[in-house]
Chains A and B, each alone.
Chain A
Amino acid sequence: MPPSPPSPDLAVAPAADIALPGRMAAIGDAGDWLAAWLAPRAVTADLAFAMRLCLEEALANIVMHGRTEGEAAIAVSLAEEQGALVLTISDDGVAFDPVTAEPPQSPLIGGNGLILLRRYANSMSYRREGGRNYLSLKFSLTA
């Protein structure tokens, strides 16, 4: 008997991780990837908005500030755990902890991404490991 073809869902399911170059054009690609990953899942519009916003802000920060020369190598992964979706963004740029960094005092200066990350993710954690930054953003599925 020939092997069964993969189920349609598995055949089209986007991977739960993606590698990106640290350039502005890649941020839109990451948003497309996230939207494809969320599409078959019953998440609210507010949750999808919050996840996309946080992904965009974290990536923009890496692209603009992660390297003094060249492009950072970025990896993003998604996982579902204990009633939450967890977005983990890693990069090989300079060490930067968005959890403890001081946000700007004025929206005119820039750095609004930090404020948005803190307000739109339910929780965040950071670690530096093997020369890479790892930022994990957790979004509750029940909030």
Chain B
Amino acid sequence: MKMDLQDLPDGITRIVLTGDLDARGAGEIDLQFQAIAASRPKVVVDMSQVGFLASIGIRTLIQAVKANGGKGGKLVLLDPVDAVWKVVTTCGADAVLPVAQGLDAAIAAVA
């Protein structure tokens, strides 16, 4: 799994995840992903290039939200594909994972 960072205006960090957020993918990014989520105040996690999500990936996302929120930050998921978001809602994890459709809405959510 690939993870790219992009600095947006107003101190917003966009993390673009590309690949599958399964046991292998989560293991590849987890440490760096959690560190960034915990150290940046406004984070948009671009999920549009993630084609697969398993429960271990949901755990990775929830931990990032908690780590970010624990430091007073805001984190939102951007544009997950339908199949991936269905996994989230099936588990009820949408209750704790903020999501936005479109970059403008994501930026507004963390501003």
Contact = CB atoms under 8 A, between A and B. Distances in A.
Interface of B: 22-24, 27, 52, 54-56, 58-59, 62, 83, 87, 90-93, 95-96
23 contacts: A24-B23, A25-B24, A27-B22, A28-B22, A28-B23, A28-B24, A46-B83, A49-B83, A52-B52, A53-B52, A56-B23, A56-B56, A60-B56, A106-B92, A107-B58, A107-B91, A107-B93, A108-B96, A110-B55, A112-B59, A116-B54, A116-B55, A120-B90
Contacts of A28: 22-24
A93 interface: no
Interface of A is mostly: helix
B62 A108 contact: yes
A66 to B, nearest CB: 14
Contacts of A27: 22-24
A22 interface: no
B90 A60 contact: no
Nearest to A32: B24
B59 A115 contact: no
Contacts of B92: 106-107, 115
Given A28-B24, A57-B55, 19 more contacts: A24-B23, A24-B27, A25-B24, A25-B27, A28-B22, A28-B23, A31-B22, A49-B83, A56-B54, A57-B54, A60-B23, A60-B55, A60-B56, A107-B93, A107-B96, A108-B62, A113-B55, A116-B91, A119-B90
B87 A116 contact: yes
